């Protein structure tokens, strides 16, 4: 048996937002936790970097809306602990045709869960947001709780909080081997560790870690082009003009989203919620930027619907999504090793939900009863993952 000082209650692999919140909850409950990150922090290789993310309660699925109630509380708690603003309420405006089924379902969900919202007719939209051009008589649904999360500041605040609570963060340490057992042994490029439980929150690198453990999840890595567009008149789409975040539904196979100008002065973030297949190891290669069909979609959208923006991107960045086939998360134990917990497949909408995801992963790793029904997030929902994979 290992000497007590060499034994961790939990090791978390991956210091993105999900891994950090998992380590935060573990450390808050006085667990001896080690957070491992293969890259030196901060870095832009995964899914948690960048200045901003949308936060909202507006969801098709009621289970996400339920989780978001507690997420807002934990974000506020972290903000208080960090002594810095991590969230700005702007409202989130959903736009689509009156008969759009997604819009109807979201509105019904918000009503059922008593989330403050407003339904806006085409005329009301034109009056309140004259610099949005409606082409087909779209209507609006305003989720008043929506807004902007300051992603980079939040990640830094969380990593600091983990350290202050007694957690240990080792960056620049890539995991090269995992040996399951009553104690899980983890070998990195620097040294070896052992823990009572292991949590894997490794984003696009999840399957690289899981294959030697006899399982491969149906994860698809996408590279998303994140675009910023210059305002013709600075401030016209800014937070100071009470311009909201928005999601535009039904124009294309995937929705478009935008955040009011803020992180780059005079530039508004507007992007397409989809991208191109990518190898995470080639994330920074120039050839990886070749496919810009999605940028062309956004460019024509900006030209047609946001007339006070110039329709050529002023800044382009990239981000990785790790998608599941149904775009719901995977929050579960390894089917064979119940002290190995997996958090994966956040499908481009996990950042805002990370406070509760981290809590659930903490509960699974400590063999506690989960606070939420995990049926939507179980590995077993993918029938192709039969016994042959184990």
What are the chain's domains? 7-48+152-218+325-381 (3.50.50.60), 92-144+220-323 (3.30.9.10)
Contact 249, 262 (CB under 8 A): no
List, in sequence order, every beta strand (DSSP E) within the chain: 7-13, 33-36, 52-55, 87-89, 92-96, 117-120, 139-143, 147-150, 168-170, 175-179, 184-188, 192-200, 220-231, 245-248, 256-259, 267-272, 276-277, 309-323, 330-333, 340-344
Contact 145, 115 (CB under 8 A): yes
Q: Note the pTM of the prediction, 2 decimals.
A: 0.93
Distance of CA 215 to the CA centre of its chain: 23
Alpha-carbon distance of 8 to 202, in angstroms, equals 19
The alpha helices in the chain, defined as continuous H runs, are 17-28, 62-82, 101-112, 122-128, 151-164, 206-210, 293-305, 354-365
pLDDT string in tens for the chain (390-residue length): 444 457 999 999 999 999 999 999 999 999 999 999 998 875 444 444 568 999 999 999 999 999 999 999 999 999 999 999 999 999 999 999 999 999 999 999 999 999 999 999 999 999 999 999 998 899 999 999 999 999 999 999 999 999 999 999 999 999 999 999 999 999 999 999 999 999 999 999 999 999 999 999 999 999 889 999 999 998 899 877 889 999 999 999 999 999 998 878 899 999 998 877 777 666 454 444 446 888 999 999 999 999 999 999 999 988 889 999 999 999 999 999 999 999 999 999 999 999 999 999 999 999 999 999 999 999 999 987 644 344
Contact 124, 79 (CB under 8 A): no
């Amino acid at each position: 048996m290992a000497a007590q000082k060499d034994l961790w209650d939990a090791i978390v692999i991956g210091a993105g937002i999900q891994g950090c919140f998992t380590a935060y909850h573990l450390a808050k409950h006085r667990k001896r936790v080690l957070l491992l990150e293969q890259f030196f922090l901060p870095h832009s290789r995964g899914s948690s970097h960048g200045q901003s993310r949308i936060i909202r309660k507006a969801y098709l699925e009621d289970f996400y809306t339920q989780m978001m109630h507690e997420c807002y509380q934990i974000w506020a708690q972290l903000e208080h602990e960090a002594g810095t603003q991590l969230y700005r309420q702007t409202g989130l405006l959903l736009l689509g045709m009156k008969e759009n089924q997604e819009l109807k379902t979201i509105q019904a969900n918000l009503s059922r869960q008593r989330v403050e919202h407003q339904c806006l007719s085409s005329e009301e939209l034109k009056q309140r947001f004259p610099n949005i051009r409606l082409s087909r008589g779209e209507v609006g649904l305003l989720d008043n709780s929506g807004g902007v999360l300051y992603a980079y500041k939040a990640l830094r605040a969380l990593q600091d909080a983990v350290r202050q609570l007694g957690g240990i963060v080792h960056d620049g340490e890539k995991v090269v081997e995992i040996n399951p057992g009553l104690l899980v042994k983890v070998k990195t490029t620097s040294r070896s560790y052992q823990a009572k439980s292991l949590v894997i929150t490794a984003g696009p690198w999840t399957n690289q870690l899981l294959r030697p453990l006899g399982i491969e999840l149906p994860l698809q890595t996408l590279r998303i082009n994140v675009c910023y567009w210059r305002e013709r008149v600075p401030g016209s789409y800014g937070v100071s003009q009470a311009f909201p975040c928005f999601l535009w539904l039904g124009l294309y196979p995937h929705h478009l989203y935008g955040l009011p100008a803020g992180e780059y002065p005079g530039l508004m973030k507007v992007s397409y919620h989809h991208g191109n297949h990518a190898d995470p190891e080639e994330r920074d290669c120039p050839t990886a930027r070749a496919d810009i069909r999605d940028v062309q979609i956004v460019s024509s959208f900006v030209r047609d619907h946001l007339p006070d923006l110039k329709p050529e991107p002023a800044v382009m960045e990239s981000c990785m999504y790790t998608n599941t086939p149904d775009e719901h998360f995977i929050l579960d134990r390894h089917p064979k090793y119940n002290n190995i917990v997996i958090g994966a497949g956040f499908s481009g909408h996990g950042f805002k939900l990370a406070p509760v995801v981290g809590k659930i992963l903490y509960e699974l790793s400590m063999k506690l009863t989960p606070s939420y029904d995990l049926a939507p997030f179980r590995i077993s929902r993918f029938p192709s993952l039969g016994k042959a994979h184990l």
